[in-house]
Amino acid sequence: MTTALLREIAHARAGDKGNISSVGVFVTDPRHYAAVKRQLTAERVKAAFAGVIKGPVRRYPIDNLCALNFVMEQALEGGVNESLNLDSHGKSWSFLLLGLPIELEG
């Protein structure tokens, strides 16, 4: 097994609305999609960022695009207009998710 950071095998796009962040993770090589789909679960994302994501995390697979969409509630400290955090936009989540390690087969 080989370990890779998600950013080495995928890219991500993020958006935010209020206190909800949505991040789409797109695996660049279809050979790696099954491993990413198996390991990058809503539970793993919630656990990895437990101190920051206060609400539920839902994952929506988009198999024909080799992509996973994550919707994270209560993840932006109240949202851009309510937070004192200078970088509370959802774009930060794509960067954080891409830092997670993934075990690749073969």
Q: What pLDDT score does 14 carry?
A: 84
**H-assigned helices in 1-106:** 6-9, 33-39, 42-48, 91-97
pLDDT value at position 82? 46
* Alpha-carbon distances of 83 from 29, 52, 74, 77, 98, rounded to whole Å: 37, 13, 12, 6, 24
pTM of the model: 0.84
Strand order in the sheet with 10-17: 10-17, 20-27, 67-73, 57-62
88 pLDDT above the threshold of 70: no
Question: Tens of pLDDT along 17-68?
Answer: 677 888 999 999 999 999 999 999 999 999 988 888 888 999 999 999 999 9
- For residue 77, what pLDDT is reported? 56
CATH architecture for residues 7-99: 2-Layer Sandwich (3.30)
Measured in residues, the chain has a length of 106
What is the pLDDT at residue 63? 98
Q: What angle do CA 3, 6, 7 make, to 5 degrees?
A: 120
